[in-house]
Every structure is written in C-alpha cells, then in structure tokens.
Amino acid sequence: MDTSRKIKMSVDMEVTIPQALALQAMFDHWNRLSNIGATREVAFYVDGDGNFHPKCNYTFSESIPVLNNELCELARVPDHDSGKDRFDDPMALFDYDSIAWRINGS
C-alpha cells in the first residue's frame, strides 16, 4: 500500500459558534505549522463537563484499512513522550508514523 498517496477525509460535527471559532483557530495554526515544516504538539481541550460534546462523523474518498485496536495503539504517542495538560496529566497525543511503518511491513 502506498502510504504517501493522499485521499480526502471529511469530518462533520455539530459545535457552537465559539467552539467552531476555536477549532478554526487551531486548524489555521496547524496549517501554518505545516507550511513552515515545524513539528509541534497542537492541543484542544475537550471539556467533558461543559457543553463540548461533538459527535464526529468522518468519511473517506476511498476504502482504507479498518482502525483496529493494534493500529489505534500504534497511533497513540507513549505517555513518556507527551507533554502534560494543565492538570499535570499526560496529554493524549497521536501520530501516524508507526501506522505507516506497520502497513508497509517495517
């Protein structure tokens, strides 16, 4: 499988206007970092006791492998490599490199 070939992924969710603006700011920052080739952690607080409870629906332009438990675990960055949140808990960080290596048989 060619893991460098790009496909389209669409994400749909219902959010409030302030949440939409905060997400837009995060995505704009994400785009700026990718345009300059900077590797950084980008975080978004998911306030489970507030009103941020989106149900994300996503579609892909073509069939992709099933995200099974193994691939999900490979996507998760180990806690010792992650930063801390404002409560001093490890942040939930995700990356795709380990999945690409597994799919390519490395």
C-alpha torsion angle, residues 21, 6, 60, 8 (rounded to 10) = 40
What DSSP character marks residue 86?
A: T
Percent of the chain with pLDDT over 70: 95
Q: How much is the pLDDT for 90?
A: 78
pTM of this prediction exceeds 0.85:
no
Q: How much is the pLDDT for 105?
A: 80
Range 4-30 average pLDDT: 93
Is the model more confident about 51 or about 41? 51
Q: How much is the pLDDT for 71?
A: 95
Tens of pLDDT, residue by residue over 53-91, are: 888 999 999 999 999 999 999 998 887 666 777 788 777
Range 33-45 average pLDDT: 81
